[in-house]
Amino acid sequence: MPGFEIVHATLQTPLPWHDGMNAARQYLESKSRVCRNICAVELRCPKPYPLQGFVEFNDQYRQLLIDWDILVDGINPVARTNVAPVNDPPREPMLHAFSYAQPSNVSRPTFVVAGGGELPDGELVERRIVRVGETSPEALIEKAECVAEIMNSRLAALGGSSELLTVLDVYTAHSLRPLLEGVLLQRLPAIARLGVHWFHSRPPVVDIEFEMDMRGVVREDVVEL
């Protein structure tokens, strides 16, 4: 919205997710903001969840948002990415970063595109995962194509554009180069200008192999909460 911008803040030291959310709230309150200014969070989990385990974690996370009165007409408005690092994973879910809105005279739009894996309609059931259980080069190409389409669709729905992107993140444990050359550079042309941040991580649900998120912001901070 005019008169506001989204700021991205990475934690210098990640915190357990619940403590981290409360610390992020306190950080914003110290700036005369409120918890409703939080518009996106990035979590790191120990390993991919089975579907039911992911649903159970989501219930805990949603309850925090309910307690903070953040839901809008019963819908969660906070974008989220939640992935499992391949190397040195945390022992419990951790808050890695968050984004928040603040008053600003920045003239350009700012936005965050929520993380998404190869679930074309977002229905969290195994049968909807593209090429579920497969990791062949051809299957990974199809998965990456699905995710690139999701990213472009979400970007358009937010009123953003490729020219306004500043960061594109990829989360996969598989080799990125064939997916970059075969899919991403064609479907997300901003990568040719910006590159990608590749996190050697797995998406949060077993059998999902490829995830992305994106943002277009002016300010990137590192904070100690």
Kindly report the CATH number assigned to the domain that includes residue 120: 3.30.1330.40
* Number of structural domains in the chain: 1
Q: Which two tokens stand for residue 35?
A: 């918890």
Residues, the chain: 225
Cβ atoms within 10 Å, residue 184: 23
Q: Which of 10-24, 56-70, 113-127, 130-144 has the lowest mean pLDDT?
A: 113-127
Q: How confident is the model at residue 125 (pLDDT cuts 50, 70, 90)?
A: confident
Half-sphere exposure of 224 (CA within 13 A, CB side): 0
Q: How confident is the model at residue 204 (pLDDT cuts 50, 70, 90)?
A: very high
Q: Which residues contact 75 (CB under 8 A, 6 or more apart)?
A: none
Q: Are 32 and 108 in contact (CB under 8 A)?
A: no
Q: Which residue has the tokens 């992911």?
A: 54
Task: Report pLDDT for 123.
Answer: 78
* Structural domain that includes position 155: 4-223
For residues 197 and 124, what is the distance between their CA atoms, to the nearest angstrom?
Answer: 26
Q: How confident is the model at residue 121 (pLDDT cuts 50, 70, 90)?
A: confident
Cβ atoms within 10 Å, residue 198: 15
**What is the model's pTM?**
0.96
